[in-house]
Amino acid sequence: MGGNAKVEHVFVLMLENRSFDHLLGFSGLTGTDASTGAATSVVGLAGTESNTFNGTQFPVARGADFAMVVDPGHEFGDVLCQLCGPTAKYPKGGAYPPIDNSGFVASYAQACTAAKQNRPLGEIMNCYTPGQLPVLTALASEFAVCDGWHASMPGPTWPNRMFVHAGSSAGLDHSPTTLEIVTWEIASGFKFPNGTIFDALNAKGLKRRLYAGDKFPMVSALKGIQLDDIRPYSNFAADLQGDFPYSYVFIEPSYAILNDYKGSTSEHPLDDIRLGEGLIKSTYEAIRNSPLWPSSALIVIWDEHGGFYDHVPPPPAVAPGDSVPDTPHNANGFTFEQYGPRVPAVVASPWIPRGTIDHRVYDHSSVPATLEKLFGMASLTARDASARDVLPLLSLDAVRTDAPTSLPAPASPVGAEFSLAKAATVTSIPAVPTRPSETIDAGSLPVFVQAALRQDLELSPASERPQILARVEALKTRADAAAYMKEVEAKRAAMN
């Protein structure tokens, strides 16, 4: 080990689309500054923050709906509006405009118009209370909460998730289309110039394991990830009780993307956040009550802010240095010299003092940076080379004996009904998805199609590759995507 002999196993659970203020802005958490040792509190909301839209002021408010009707925008242009105002323009290859966090309501108004929904625009400013999120609040108060953790770029899910895996998105600054993913696969998959953290672990002779709540998790869209690498989340708790030689574990929730996320544990805003609370609870308790706990660290993060208000302007960032604007993946000409909005981040380990609050800047590249420091590996890019790792948070000289063996139940009524079995249920592909005639090229759906495609290619003879790629290129609607993914699901079942 290169950096901290206390830890042998790093677990990362990455959820979906929530800003720091939206989940923890009204948490009122207090504790000890991780850097100075002084008494401090989280950088949250005063209650006076607001956005103005069409002459009306929309203040932040305590209490948010457990599920949204409209999915707030979070593509590159949406985030530009949210951070810089509705008239902002990004000059390709240039500097990001001045940030004042003034356009969240304006952006949400656009999303409501696009969805043909007449919604109260102020709901994008609503933030949860601690009683609504008892699991997250308890975990954050018991260990370390990082209130300076930012999305790696001001944009959507997939490029942000790539930074967790590679310290880079290889120039990707948008949600890809199905045609783009087919083009990648024709060239043998999406390539990171310096590989991924999974490649680095393999080269070091270290084992990694992936757990998923879906049969087609997004991580399986990456080149080099095989079917055998992925375990159903339902096996997670039991696996930790036996021989477990894995140094790094990445966990994805269920998404139910073809059912508009309903019934998933991802915490996507269209679904009930309490189900994601249950997943956090079950993940922590599985690790805490296993033999691995004394040598483990769990990082719980959200991939991007999902369009929800956060009052802290994100700072500039170090570009990964492995791509340049206007390459094939770079639709907006983004230079990656700007972080996205804050997202919640909690680090749990028996080596972390209770009530630790860290105000320093992190981003998703802090995950590979932590693994590189811990296991003595070289950085993948300039971004993770400059990123802060979380190992200094593990500051105790001996493991805590007071770490809770369980966390509170999610808020009612979900809390009363919650069980590990429910959190572990693998989401099936529906025969008929929601909005079946709408385009396949919206949001993250093409990434899930790519995950299915990579599995299809792995399960099929090489001679069928051209036919499979042509099949996916012909997909046009959400119904087409569902039919194809059902076919791959059946092919997988037949191989078992």
Cβ proximity of 361 and 319 under 8 Å: no
pLDDT of residue 283: 97
pLDDT for position 189:
78
pTM of the model as a whole: 0.96
How distant is the alpha carbon of residue 303 from its chain centre? 3
Distance in angstroms (rounded) separating the CA atoms of residues 196 and 372:
12
Instruction: Give tens-digit pLDDT for 48-103.
Output: 999 999 999 999 999 999 999 999 999 999 999 999 999 999 999 999 999 999 99
Nearest to 300 by CA among 268, 264, 347, 355: 347
Partners of 252 in the β-ladder:
212
Q: What digits encode the pLDDT tens for the residues 459-469? A: 999 999 999 99
Q: Are 284 and 407 in contact (CB under 8 A)?
A: yes
Class of domain 9-40+128-424 (CATH, top level): alpha beta
Name the pLDDT band for 424 (thresholds 50, 70, 90). Answer: low
Pairing of strands 30-33, 207-212: unpaired
pLDDT for the residue numbered 415: 59
- pLDDT over 90 percentage in the chain: 89
- pLDDT exceeds cutoff 60 at 420: no
- DSSP string covering 238-257: HHTTS---EEEEEEE----G
Query: To which residue do tokens 């390459």 refer?
Result: 327
Distances (CA, A) of 397 to 352, 353, 393, 444: 10, 10, 12, 43
User: What's the pLDDT band for 191 if we cut at 50, 70, 90?
Assistant: confident
Among the ranges given (119-133, 167-181, 412-426, 470-484), the one the predictor scored with the smallest mean pLDDT:
412-426
